[in-house]
């Protein structure tokens, strides 16, 4: 009996030691706001800012998205933020989707530590050049389509494709970002009804507040491709009511400076009846084998073996020439490293509103 008791006690002690060791290891890899130097603001949104930050220990650069919990709660957007985190965690395997390295929180703020991409928004380059030639537009459309197809394979619908959410990396490849409006758990034949998106790129079924499916993303891709080739979204008007009427009633104007295959693809993607839209049956495969994309070797594209048609001129990570000076000239707040000391009821509510938000890579994964 004495031997049994000694064995049980020693086993318990071993368990306690193991737990302590695990906790120590966790604390070692646990990441905090002050592990970074925050260098510049590179973007702003409804809930907070995106900053260029350098990890003090590894000296690597990241884009750190810092969101204010109070604003998220006030606008009742917790679900969208947690969905964004969930989608980001599934995106690790795709070359044209922004990657999440860490997520963590303080009582007042949420932090996403993301890939830093400094080639500029597609929107920025399109504004400067007005239109892209067809080979360049095709290359971008192919990389975007493969990213959307991957999301669809995970039963995720993106819902907010627009040039502002499409970044270029320093090599000139597409990086799709901002997953705040993604819908998870949508099966191939599933539909959803939430009214969301950006006015210029809304599909007719969304505008009509009807049920819609994953083909909503192919409509948005059609709108973005049209804008790349023709300089404006297909149904654009400064008058929003007129633009909505155009989306619902008018056919897109397809001028002949685009190839027959290009015009045919645009017609297929900008089909108002979603049950006849390109991609309704076999999703991404219908686009992949469309004549417009025949010059693309998809294996080479996925392996980033195709030289991008345009390489952004950047001298290094701190070169911010492709970011809007409206953001980069703003002062960086010193409060990014501090947390509130006054614990009010709203702070308490905010502190507990995002359970399970924090994420770190597996223990054998060094800080990338």
Torsion-angle region of 166 (φ positive above 0: left; ψ -120 to 50: alpha; else: beta): beta
Q: How many CA atoms lie within 13 A of 320 on its CB side?
A: 18
Residues in the chain: 368
| CB 55 within 8 Å of CB 35 | yes
Q: Is 90 helix (H, G, I), strand (E, B) or coil?
A: helix
The terminus-to-terminus CA distance of the chain in angstroms comes to: 52
**Cα–Cα distances in angstroms (integers) from residue 327 to residues 41, 45, 79, 92, 320, in the given order:** 6, 11, 27, 28, 10
Burial 104-122 (b: 16+ CB within 10 A, else e): bbbebbbbbbbbbbbbbbb
Q: Is 170 helix (H, G, I), strand (E, B) or coil?
A: coil
| CB 287 within 8 Å of CB 293 | yes
Pairwise CA distance, residues 135 & 310, whole Å = 11
Torsion-angle region of 291 (φ positive above 0: left; ψ -120 to 50: alpha; else: beta): alpha
Q: 83: how many CB neighbours lie within 10 A of its CB? A: 19
160 noted as active-site residue: yes
- Lateral strand order in the sheet of 48-55: 36-44, 48-55, 61-68, 109-114, 100-105
Pairwise CA distance, residues 341 & 343, whole Å = 6
Q: Where are the beta strands (DSSP E) in 3-149?
A: 36-44, 48-55, 61-68, 100-105, 109-114
Task: Check 115, 160, 178, 283 and give the catalytic one.
Answer: 160
Distance from the Cα of residue 33 to its chain's centroid: 22
Which DSSP symbol is given to 340? -
| Residue located via tokens 């491709």 | 225
Q: What is the Cα Rg of the chain in Å? A: 23
Q: Is 208 annotated as a binding residue?
A: no
The catalytic residues are: 160
Q: Residues comprising the binding site for ATP?
A: 74
Binding-site annotation: residue ranges: 74
């Amino acid at each position: 009996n004495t031997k049994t008791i000694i064995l049980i006690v020693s086993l318990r002690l071993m368990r306690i030691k193991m737990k302590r060791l695990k906790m120590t290891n966790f604390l070692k890899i646990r990441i905090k706001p002050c592990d970074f130097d925050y260098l510049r603001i590179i973007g702003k949104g409804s809930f907070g800012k995106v900053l260029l930050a350098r990890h003090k220990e590894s000296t690597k650069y990241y884009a750190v998205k810092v969101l204010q919990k109070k604003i998220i709660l006030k606008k009742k957007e917790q679900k969208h933020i947690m969905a964004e985190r969930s989608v980001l965690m599934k995106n690790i395997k795709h070359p044209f989707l922004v990657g999440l390295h860490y997520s963590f929180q303080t009582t007042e703020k949420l932090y996403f530590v993301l890939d830093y991409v400094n080639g500029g928004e597609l929107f920025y380059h399109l504004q400067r050049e007005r239109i892209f030639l067809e080979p360049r537009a095709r290359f971008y459309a192919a990389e975007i389509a493969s990213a959307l197809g991957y999301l669809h394979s995970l039963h995720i619908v993106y819902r907010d494709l627009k040039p502002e959410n499409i970044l270029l990396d320093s090599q000139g490849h597409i990086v799709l970002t901002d997953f705040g409006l993604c819908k998870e758990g949508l099966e191939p034949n599933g539909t959803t009804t939430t009214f969301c998106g950006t006015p210029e790129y809304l599909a007719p079924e969304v505008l009509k507040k009807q049920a819609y499916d994953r083909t909503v993303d192919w409509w948005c891709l059609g709108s973005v491709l049209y804008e790349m080739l023709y300089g404006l979204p297909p149904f654009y008007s400064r008058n929003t009511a007129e633009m909505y009427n155009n989306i619902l009633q008018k056919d897109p104007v397809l001028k002949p400076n685009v190839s027959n295959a290009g015009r045919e693809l645009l017609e297929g993607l900008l089909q108002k009846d979603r049950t006849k839209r390109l991609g309704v049956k076999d999703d991404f495969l219908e686009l992949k084998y469309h004549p417009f994309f025949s010059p693309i070797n998809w294996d080479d594209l996925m392996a980033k073996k195709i030289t991008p048609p345009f390489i952004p001129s950047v001298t290094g990570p701190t070169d911010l020439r492709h970011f809007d000076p409206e953001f980069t000239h703003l002062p960086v707040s010193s409060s990014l490293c501090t947390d509130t000391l006054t614990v009010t009821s709203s702070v308490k509510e905010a502190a507990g509103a995002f359970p399970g938000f924090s994420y770190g890579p597996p223990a054998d994964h060094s800080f990338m």
